Amino acid sequence: MRSRLSSIVGMQQFGLVVIILVLGVVMTMFAGTHLDRVSGHTVNNFLNPGTLIQVATDTSFFAIMAVGMTMVIISAGIDLSIGSIYAMAAVLMSLVLQKMTGDSPIAQVAVGIVMSCGIGLFAGLLNGVMVSRLGVHPFIITLGTMWVFRGIAFVTTKAMSILVPSSLTTFIKANLGLRHDLFPVPMLVMIGVTVCGALYLQRTTWGRRIFAVGGNIEAAKYSGLSISRILSSVYVIAGLCAGIAAFVGTSFYGSSSSGDAQGYELYVIASAVVGGASLNGGKGSAVGATLGALLIVMIRQAIRTLNYDQNYEWIIIGFAIVISVVLDRWNATRAQRQMVRARQ
């Protein structure tokens, strides 16, 4: 029993889960109450099905992309274009679907998924090929493609909002037997992406190779690993995750524009870093990325629920990133000292 408890406490995500639970308790205590329009009962402003599902929905858009971003960061890279990939995939998908008004709802949903994910894959492949082949730092490459992809979205839409067929909104907003105002599909997609990401990183050879490249790229080269393929693959996965998030987000809100996901880079990178990914590479997890996204969304929700100035959101998230990086550096330094002492 003690060994099992110690293993749980020692898990990388245990501290993050505790912080999320504490924040949830604080919000429940100070959020106040209101009259639920559906049930007619007095409910807590935070601890009620509507707010919890909304928090999970808001988290899903960040968490899906954070899973892909975590793989990039594990490989010691960075992707600043992930929000622009979201916008480009969303608007190009919407433009294609506008010409399918007479098609069946199933065909519209299928084409939407294929288009959005395909565009995300292609954009991620471009990033990956340039990063792995040109030898330029990924910060510079993805900074450039961030503007290119966003520019494509702007030019193709002329800064106008593009509506998507109602079949996509009906699909994403299916209540699955719950109350008519509860929409769990985005949350289920987030869970599915997180599980797939966790299995890929922990249970597959390619996933373990990402850790090897990020931990020590020179050792990975001498081990015979194909560095260019591994680096390309993480950006492809990040692009795919952006495409999935674009389909879910665009379908949920019913429209897309060239300004979609602007600034999401901060939230996605913050989610990965707060979730335990090291910017030095070689460390991170899909579950941690999702928990990091949940914590950031809960911070945003707490600011709204407790009626604080929303401008504090940027300050708090910025501090969260800095603290996470400092703690990661401190843990790495401590581990190195312990290894030295053990050798002596």
Are residues 273 and 162 in contact, defined by beta-carbon separation less than 8 angstroms? no
Average pLDDT score over residue span 144-173:
93
- Residue (of 241, 109, 224, 111) closest to 166 by Cα position: 109
Identify the residue with better confidence: 202 or 309. Answer: 202
Structure tokens at 326: 């400092």
Name the token pair of 76: 């010691």
Q: Is-contact 68 86, C-beta < 8 A?
A: no
Distance CA 105, CA 276 (A): 41
**In the chain, where the domains are located:** 49-331
CATH code of domain 49-331: 1.10.3470
The confidence band for 300, taking pLDDT boundaries of 50, 70 and 90, is: confident
* Nearest alpha-carbon partner for 214 in 77, 94, 51, 86: 77
State how far the Cα of 211 lies from the Cα of 216, in Å rounded to an integer: 8
Distance CA 35, CA 24 (A): 20
Q: State what percent of residues in the chain have pLDDT above 90.
A: 56
Termini Cα distance of the chain: 34
Residue 329 reports pLDDT greater than 80: no
Q: Is 183 exposed, middle or buried (0-12, 13-18, 19+ CB in 10 A)?
A: buried
Residue 255 main-chain phi, psi, to 5 deg: -160, 170
User: By mean pLDDT, which of 266-270, 272-276, 328-332 is the weakest?
Assistant: 328-332
- The per-residue pLDDT of the chain, averaged, comes to 88
- Contact (CB, 8 A) for 230 and 281: no
Cα-flanking dihedrals φ and ψ of residue 182, to 5°?
A: -110, 130
pLDDT at 4 over 80: no
- 266 vs 3: CA distance, rounded Å: 38
pLDDT at 111 over 70: yes
Q: What is the pLDDT of residues 205-221, one digit of tens each?
A: 999 999 999 988 888 88
- pLDDT value of position 332: 67
